[in-house]
Structure 1
Amino acid sequence: MSSVAEKLQRKDSRSASAKQVRLKLVYLDFWSVVKFSFLIWLCLGIVLIVAAVLVWIVLSSTGIFDTLNGLLRDILGQDNFSITDTFGLGQVVLFSFVIAVLNTVTGTILGAIASLLYNLSVRFTGGILVGFQNS
């Protein structure tokens, strides 16, 4: 005679059948891809600006700029040279902002082109087969 605990243990050891779904990706909506790629590249642009500011702050607070100033003054022979005058925080933020805007524009355009190319290639290839499994 088996106990209730043994029955529950046997019941848990049986695996439930997993449900599988197979779908074909045959169309990408152009405007959805454009909006999605714009948002992705906008987020990456914000990350770029924040990373550039953080790197500049770390280099400034650790004294790397002062060491570089001393080294470049010795090499160039100029007593009034300062690297922070050339590469100040404002210049770094402005440069990273310009790069982020350019990346956002080009990334959005490339996403739109990729959507168009995929929609054209689906006519020849039939799409991508995507499988999902519920476990």
Structure 2
Amino acid sequence: MSSVAEKLAKKSTRKTTTKQVRLKLVYIDFWSAVKLSFLVAICLAVVTIVATFLIFTVLNQTGIFESVNSLYTSIAGETSNLNTILSIGNVMGFAVVVAILNTVVVTALGAVFALLYNLSVKVTGGLLVGFTNN
């Protein structure tokens, strides 16, 4: 009588044949590249907004803004106040504007990359990619 473990041990000692396939990437679909670059840009935008909020909160809680504000008022005069410029609304508004612009730029770069790759394939022949079934 053989157990299930012995049967599995016999199967695992067999060598499996690996099949390798070499393919050429000769075309990138334009709309797929645009959609993927847009999703990556949205992820980067969320990371930018969250990181800006966290960094602002840490700097505000540690009192760095107060010390920078006192240095600024001693140089620029008593009528100047840096805390009005560096409020949470202004900082987060700037972060949102940067995130939107970053989304547009990254999406456009993804589209340009797909177009340039598709044009360069005619000259270079494509990118050789190897696959295996491990």
Alignment TM-score, normalising by the size of structure 2: 0.84
Q: Tell me whether 1:97 sits opposite 2:79 in the alignment.
A: no
Task: Give the whole-Å Cα distance in 2 for the aligned partners of 1:30 and 1:63.
Answer: 49
How big is the shift at 1:18? 2.3
Task: Give the whole-Å Cα distance in 1 for the aligned partners of 2:42 and 2:106.
Answer: 9
How big is the shift at 1:81? 3.8
Deviations 1:7-60 (A, max 9, x none): x98986665332212111111110000011011011101110111111100000
Q: Which amino acid aligns with 1:108?
A: T
More divergent stretch after superposition (39-48 vs 15-24): 15-24
Aligned residues: 130
Among the aligned pairs, what percent are the same residue? Answer: 52
How big is the shift at 1:86? 0.7
How big is the shift at 1:110? 1.2
Aligned ranges for residues 3-82 of structure 1 at < 5 Å?
15-78=15-78, 80-82=79-81
Q: Which amino acid aligns with 2:124?
A: T
Q: Which amino acid aligns with 1:40?
A: V
Contiguous gaps of at least 5 residues in structure 2: 1-7
Task: Give the whole-Å Cα distance in 2 for the aligned partners of 1:27 and 1:113.
Answer: 14
Secondary structure of the residue aligned to 2:27 is: coil
Task: Give the whole-Å Cα distance in 2 for the aligned partners of 1:102 and 1:9.
Answer: 58
Q: Which amino acid aligns with 1:73?
A: T
Q: Which amino acid aligns with 1:33?
A: A
Q: Which amino acid aligns with 2:91?
A: V
Q: CA RMSD in A?
A: 2.2
Secondary structure of the residue aligned to 1:27 is: coil
Deviations 1:69-128 (A, max 9, x none): 2222222331x5432211111111111111111111111111111111111111111110
Task: Give the whole-Å Cα distance in 1 for the aligned partners of 2:90 and 2:99.
Answer: 14
Task: Give the whole-Å Cα distance in 2 for the aligned partners of 1:38 and 1:11.
Answer: 46
